[in-house]
Chains A and B, each alone.
Chain A
Amino acid sequence: GAVVSQHPSWVICKSGTSVKIECRSLDFQATTMFWYRQFPKQSLMLMATSNEGSKATYEQGVEKDKFLINHASLTLSTLTVTSAHPEDSSFYICSARDSLSYEQYFGPGTRLTVT
């Protein structure tokens, strides 16, 4: 089956620093990837749609300068949380859409804690 990986699976960083999260489709190509954010006991909130070779499309209310998304290849999208603050602590999940089948597969998530 199709596999999406995320790295790191968890990260602790200090307030004011930046952290990068990688999302990779391991056995398929993904022109489009999605980034979600989830707080405890809450739903997944779509942050942005990442398109290979073009700028990401951000959902309303998401700061594009704070959450930098780069989709440089058909198998890799990265989310960089810049100048992180404790309120950015959350579970970040990516999903990748298979370019051929259009099926969408989720990564295992990255738990970010900002101290």
Chain B
Amino acid sequence: AQKITQTQPGMFVQEKEAVTLDCTYDTSDQSYGLFWYKQPSSGEMIFLIYQGSYDEQNATEGRYSLNFQKARKSANLVISASQLGDSAMYFCAMRGPWGQGGKLIFGQGTELSVKP
């Protein structure tokens, strides 16, 4: 069975500082995808970044980067130069094998608060 774990229920960061949100996963599949989503108070799910299990380089998207350590089964999100608008819930998710429907399974989430 697949599992995603986010152990930080809440995080604080000073504006303009960098912050790392932790995510570990467990799967016996060789092919999988890892995602990070941002959910502001409005509830919409905003896609941030994606890492495929066979991608050798860490994914980056603007101020977001994914620190992918396959052997440790971790996929931490790094947000550089935090902004007040980054305050939100952040979810790590894993997509399982296509043969099993390619479902997205989410971690518990981390609530990030950016302080001015």
Contacts and interface: CB of A to CB of B under 8 A. Distances in A.
B109 A46 contact: no
Interface of B: 37, 42-45, 47, 89, 91, 95, 98, 101-109, 111
Given A43-B91, A44-B91, A106 B45 contact: yes
A93 B45 contact: yes
B103 A111 contact: no
Contacts of A34: 103-104
The SS class assigned to the A binding surface is: strand
B44 A32 contact: no
Contacts of A43: 91, 106-109
A89 to B, nearest CB: 14
Contact of B44 (A44, A49, A57, A109): A109
Contacts of A102: 98, 102
A104 B107 CA distance: 17
A46 B103 contact: yes
A91 interface: yes
Contacts of B95: 104
Contacts of A93: 43, 45
